[in-house]
Structure 1
Amino acid sequence: MERWVMLRKGADFSGIAEKYQISPRLACLIRNRDVIGDEAISRYLNGTLGDLYDGMLMKDMDKAVAILREKIEAGSRIRVIGDYDIDGVNATYILLEGLRRLGVEADSDIPDRIADGYGLSVHLIQRALDDGVDTVITCDNGIAAAEEIEFAKEEGMTVIVTDHHEVPYEEWKGEKQYLLPPADAVVDPKRPDCTYPFSGLCGAAVAYKLMEALWESMGKDAEDLDDLIENVAIATVGDVMDLQDENRIFVKEGLQMLARTRNLGLRSLIECTGLGGKKISAYHIGFVLGPCINAGGRLDTAKRALDLLRARSKREADLLAGDLKALNDSRKEMTEAAVKEAVTMVEASALKDDRVLVIYLPECHESLAGIVAGRIRERYDKPVFVLTRGQEGIKGSGRSVEAYSMYEELSRCKGFLTRFGGHRQAAGLSMRRENLEPFRQAINENCSLSAADLSEKVVIDMEMPFSCVTEALVEELELLEPFGKGNTKPVFAARNVRLTHPKILGKHRNVLKMQAQDQAGTVIDALYFGEVEDLYAKTGEKLTLTYYPGINEYMGKATPQIIITHYQG
């Protein structure tokens, strides 16, 4: 059941509109995104790279820079150890490029999802020792690898951690005792003692900040690293970070760079996914380019995606881009099959009564667990863990709803787990097979979610008659882009709408085209994507609906239209 909520946040909309030369309606939408005060509004509307914060404000950044300078001067062997997802791959690339452009021959290692598991492992440290590596820089991992880093330190290695995940903790008398790994420097904006102004960066952004700080300390022009912002943008969207504050600037600027990228691999991937010549948006990163980059780490090796970013010839780039697209196509088919199996399992058992779904799909490829969990969460509006058979025990991923902190809830059940880590909204976990049922019981017994927490919340920005849907409005709404988590597309509503002239379109018959008339009598073209038969059946009835305005350009003619997102009636 959906809960429709109308936002009513107050401010001097006409004053803001006048000051920033925008409409009062846009001022209201910005306030609804909790952007408050002149400085924040100015950054939101007009933020540029010059508005990014100084990376040296991060705790231990000075230490990390000093260590790297010393190691570079000594000619020590440096290895970057990343992770196998879109954030880890781009973070690895940023560190390698930043060092390579300084003339430093660093190398890299990325764990294999199945053989090595997530993040730093003793196996990866041993491999580095065998190769004569002196210094390891982690990216997008390391904050939870205390034992592995202790082993590296005992073997005489220098370790710099760059990460953005939550710092592990133990609760003692109701207080959280944070457990930092024993590395030589730990750069993570989520450290409780880090006073950096924005803690929502992805791993690639932290890696970029380290390279920028290193370059500046060596008297180099850090602007020569600006092209790497496109990699920060890809990682920020792909790792589903909130598009607020610095992230918004990174993504806005990075998308513009991506359109004219000089990176041969990205250019080939853009061409082979049919995006050549198009205006690339955050949507394209999230649903077209990103899944291809992730597909390497899911079904093959993430080193293939890193090779794509580092490709030195068009031929190599085209080959790798084609491979990753093919891998992603097969990933889609495997995902559909696993989602179907999961739904059948939930519907046919007592699982559907649980507030937290713990689904065991032994044959599902373990790399797809997170995607499947996300799809099941969308269907049931509940936190979901999908577990698969691993090499040792079972392992999987979780995806959460807004009101449920996955990392904190797993911390309360860690006695059943061999390993876990992650964020509020997503997590990874491993356990012994015999702990599956006890874990399912405990995670549900601890769950304090109410019925309201478990219903989809449709947040409406404002009611707006169809007469307001104009080219000027649609153009002005572009000032709010890029859209994504933390900066969602505006949602408008209209009551007493009558739909007429419905037509079902599309190869999969999943598009409904019709005309919509609001209570003032304005008629506008309307589209709906989804369960079209249900809405088709309501033709002629009076409905309340939510929508997003758009312009349909056809044969040189621009016509206002709306995309219907939800309806009641």
Structure 2
Amino acid sequence: MQEKQWIYKEVPLVEKIKTLSKTINVSTPTACLLLQRSIDDFPKAKHFFRAGLQQLHDPFQMRDMHKAAERLTEAVQKGQKILFYGDYDVDGTTSVSLLSGFFRNQSVPFEFYIPDRYSEGYGLSDKAVTYIIQQNIDLVITLDCGIKAVEKIARAKAAGVDFIVCDHHTPGASLPPAFAVLDPKRRDCPYPYKELSGCGVGFKLLQAYCRLNRIDEREVFKYLDLVAISIASDIVPITGENRILARFGLQQINKEARVGIQALINIAGLRPPLSISGIVFGIGPRINAAGRIGHAKEAVHLLLSEEEAEAKSLAKSIDTKNEQRKDYDTNTTDEVLAMIEEFGLQNRKTTVLYNPDWHKGVIGIVASRCIERYYRPTIILTQSQGKITGSARSVENYDIYTAIEACEDLLEQYGGHKYAAGLTLDQGNLEAFALRFEEVVSQSITQDLLTPKIYIDLKLSLDQINPNFYQVVQQMAPFGPENMQPVFVSEGVIDSGYARVLKDRHLKLKVKQANGQQVLDAIGFNMAGFYPLVASGRPFQVCYSIEENTYNGRTSLQLMLRDIKG
């Protein structure tokens, strides 16, 4: 197992901890966790724990929002042809479902269009522009894409089509010539929160539309479940406005899930209440599988479904695709890891591997899986339409986009951001690209960046862990990027003699400290390699988060292990 570096977050001054603990009546460990998140007084704590929908920002603070809401209103009032265009991933399909569901309830006619991952690729496609022009569409709303589709939107505009771009990606050098461009990452956009998902930007457009047309905003709040799924699956920060949207969206899913989402929950065998991680690992991959193995419009039909029988059938179809996706994913990952061994590539600073038979829909997932074993910038490549195409994934704090950019003379096209990118190249450039990329990364990456890290909030004694502490920590949810689930370390831990290995992979034990009263269950997935250490009787350190485990009708706290050190 690859050794991980434990990095302890700064512990605030004792006086600050005591003051906040007394002010808001929480334990000192809880006060410390809050101070680490810059929550240092009662008003901030109240907003963090109790923020409501009334705290959402005014949508008209976003650049071009007045224009967008007015143009959409005009299209509705004049009965113009409206088309919602979304990408084929979770963010795109939830965005299209959001606008489609809302306007269906308003009895407004519309069409939607999701591009095919394989024949059209990401974003606004040439095929789609041709369709839009041929169908005499008056207004297109792009969702989770469009910010870089300058030439394609210009072509459609020349044919008389108006566009409202709803995107959250960083714009290029020039904005597309759309009627309105809604993107909080525009340099000239004063919107106070910059990290919305694509679906979140679509939600703000609907909020503005409701206000302009005096429609009760609760009509758009009905779709917060879709916004929450997009926030979780697109791995955007769960801070500020996203945290409010995710919190209320999760409440909706857990209280009264819409028919299509409930069908996914049932077929995935998920147990409510769902958390962000439940969506990330249970719901998101199934929605994504529709576009990876088939066509993503199936996911939209499921999310819009109002009939249980139809939803059940669509969920079953999507689940079958997800099982296929998992097979491709597992097999391809095994092949990649075998190639690293076979070709003696273990000590490289990068992984760049190609096989024309690998499935294009899983190569991004496979790149991430490889990083779990070989922690370094990784590019997995396959063949598509006569070219080599690939997905790149990076390690923390290393900009893989810049490294790829240094090889651009060998590439047909590329795009992405710091941690994930896509690229296309000619067959003849493959070897030169792999060598150049290894050279570029080797010159710019440090050994520290090649070591996986675990960020630890606090050291705890096991006796400090009790249901009350757990419940307060849970109120800090929803957890996700920039508001991660707290991670703790306990030292001088010994196994109570129950340590065992499950399914040859997982570690199960009961832990206690020499001078403590508390005995707690602990489980470490894929951590069987630590069994000799914990079974030796010698004390060790555990790094973990705290979770509830229900077994045979009994619920108890358990440690979800992240790492163990002797």
TM-score, L = length of structure 2: 0.93
In structure 1, the residue matched to 2:342 is 348
How far 1:37 sits from its partner (Å)? 6.3
In structure 2, the CA distance between the partners of 1:37 and 1:341, relative to structure 1 (3 Å rule), is: farther
In structure 2, the residue matched to 1:254 is 249
In structure 2, the residue matched to 1:562 is 559
Q: Which amino acid counterpart does residue 81 of structure 1 have in structure 2?
A: Y
Q: Which of 469, 485, 492 is the aligned partner of 1:496? A: 492
In structure 2, the CA distance between the partners of 1:40 and 1:441, relative to structure 1 (3 Å rule), is: farther
In structure 2, the residue matched to 1:63 is 67
Query: Counterparts in 2 of 1:185-334, with a 5 A limit?
Result: 185-261=180-256, 263-275=258-270, 278-334=272-328
* Distance (Å, rounded) in 2 between the aligned partners of 1:435 and 1:223: 54
How far 1:39 sits from its partner (Å)? 5.4
1:336 aligns with 2:330: yes
In structure 1, the residue matched to 2:17 is 13
Moved more, 555-564 or 138-147: 555-564
1:129 aligns with 2:136: no
What are the Cα deviations for residues 23-80 of structure 1, in whole angstroms up to 9, with x where unaligned? 2211211232455666554332211211111121111222211221222222221111
In structure 2, the CA distance between the partners of 1:66 and 1:323, relative to structure 1 (3 Å rule), is: same
* Distance (Å, rounded) in 2 between the aligned partners of 1:556 and 1:72: 53
Query: Counterparts in 2 of 1:392-431, with a 5 A limit?
Result: 392-431=386-425
Q: Which of 475, 492, 498 is the aligned partner of 1:479? A: 475
Q: Which of 492, 509, 512 is the aligned partner of 2:507? A: 512
In structure 2, the residue matched to 1:463 is 459
Query: Is contact 1:495-1:519 (8 Å) kept?
Result: no
In structure 2, the CA distance between the partners of 1:479 and 1:496, relative to structure 1 (3 Å rule), is: same
TM-score, L = length of structure 1: 0.93
* Distance (Å, rounded) in 1 between the aligned partners of 2:176 and 2:403: 22
Aligned length: 558
* Distance (Å, rounded) in 1 between the aligned partners of 2:560 and 2:86: 40
* Distance (Å, rounded) in 2 between the aligned partners of 1:166 and 1:371: 23
Q: Which of 157, 162, 171 is the aligned partner of 1:158? A: 162
In structure 2, the CA distance between the partners of 1:443 and 1:191, relative to structure 1 (3 Å rule), is: farther
In structure 1, the residue matched to 2:79 is 75
Moved more, 297-306 or 324-333: 324-333
What are the Cα deviations for residues 376-412 of structure 1, in whole angstroms up to 9, with x where unaligned? 1222221222121111412222222221233344344
Moved more, 4-13 or 296-305: 4-13
SS in 2 for 1:352: coil
Q: Which amino acid counterpart does residue 148 of structure 1 have in structure 2?
A: K
* Distance (Å, rounded) in 1 between the aligned partners of 2:161 and 2:507: 61
Q: Which amino acid counterpart does residue 26 of structure 1 have in structure 2?
A: T
How far 1:82 sits from its partner (Å)? 0.5
* Distance (Å, rounded) in 2 between the aligned partners of 1:106 and 1:33: 44
In structure 2, the CA distance between the partners of 1:366 and 1:266, relative to structure 1 (3 Å rule), is: same
Q: Which amino acid counterpart does residue 2 of structure 1 have in structure 2?
A: K
* Distance (Å, rounded) in 2 between the aligned partners of 1:220 and 1:557: 47
Query: Is contact 2:81-2:110 (8 Å) kept?
Result: yes
* Distance (Å, rounded) in 2 between the aligned partners of 1:288 and 1:266: 11
Query: Is contact 2:512-2:520 (8 Å) kept?
Result: no
How far 1:208 sits from its partner (Å)? 0.7
* Distance (Å, rounded) in 1 between the aligned partners of 2:316 and 2:484: 32
How far 1:375 sits from its partner (Å)? 0.8
What are the Cα deviations for residues 216-253 of structure 1, in whole angstroms up to 9, with x where unaligned? 11111122111111000001101111211111111111
What are the Cα deviations for residues 404-460 of structure 1, in whole angstroms up to 9, with x where unaligned? 233344344433333333333222222222233333333333331210011011111
Query: Is contact 1:166-1:422 (8 Å) kept?
Result: no
In structure 2, the CA distance between the partners of 1:428 and 1:208, relative to structure 1 (3 Å rule), is: same
In structure 1, the residue matched to 2:174 is 179
In structure 2, the CA distance between the partners of 1:185 and 1:460, relative to structure 1 (3 Å rule), is: same
Q: Alignment RMSD, CA only?
A: 2.1
Query: Is contact 2:82-2:110 (8 Å) kept?
Result: yes
In structure 2, the residue matched to 1:116 is 120
* Distance (Å, rounded) in 2 between the aligned partners of 1:36 and 1:395: 49
In structure 2, the CA distance between the partners of 1:523 and 1:301, relative to structure 1 (3 Å rule), is: same
How far 1:293 sits from its partner (Å)? 0.8
SS in 1 for 2:306: coil
Query: Is contact 2:523-2:558 (8 Å) kept?
Result: no
SS in 1 for 2:484: coil
* Distance (Å, rounded) in 2 between the aligned partners of 1:556 and 1:397: 44
In structure 2, the residue matched to 1:433 is 427
- Stretches (4+) displaced over 6 A: none
In structure 1, the residue matched to 2:356 is 362
Query: Is contact 1:164-1:190 (8 Å) kept?
Result: yes
What are the Cα deviations for residues 296-334 of structure 1, in whole angstroms up to 9, with x where unaligned? 000000010001011132111110011111111121111
Unaligned runs of 5+ in 1: 169-177
In structure 1, the residue matched to 2:381 is 387
* Distance (Å, rounded) in 2 between the aligned partners of 1:38 and 1:400: 39
Query: Is contact 1:136-1:159 (8 Å) kept?
Result: yes
Query: Is contact 1:80-1:108 (8 Å) kept?
Result: yes
How far 1:288 sits from its partner (Å)? 1.0
Query: Is contact 2:23-2:41 (8 Å) kept?
Result: no
Unaligned runs of 5+ in 2: none
* Distance (Å, rounded) in 1 between the aligned partners of 2:108 and 2:550: 51
* Distance (Å, rounded) in 1 between the aligned partners of 2:392 and 2:43: 37
* Distance (Å, rounded) in 1 between the aligned partners of 2:371 and 2:44: 33
SS in 2 for 1:113: coil
* Distance (Å, rounded) in 2 between the aligned partners of 1:439 and 1:39: 54
Q: Which amino acid counterpart does residue 77 of structure 1 have in structure 2?
A: K
In structure 2, the CA distance between the partners of 1:492 and 1:427, relative to structure 1 (3 Å rule), is: same
In structure 2, the CA distance between the partners of 1:331 and 1:403, relative to structure 1 (3 Å rule), is: same
* Distance (Å, rounded) in 1 between the aligned partners of 2:83 and 2:162: 11
Q: Which amino acid counterpart does residue 22 of structure 2 have in structure 1?
A: E
In structure 2, the CA distance between the partners of 1:554 and 1:356, relative to structure 1 (3 Å rule), is: closer
* Distance (Å, rounded) in 2 between the aligned partners of 1:414 and 1:78: 38
Moved more, 154-163 or 202-211: 154-163
In structure 2, the CA distance between the partners of 1:125 and 1:319, relative to structure 1 (3 Å rule), is: same
SS in 2 for 1:397: strand
* Distance (Å, rounded) in 1 between the aligned partners of 2:10 and 2:462: 21
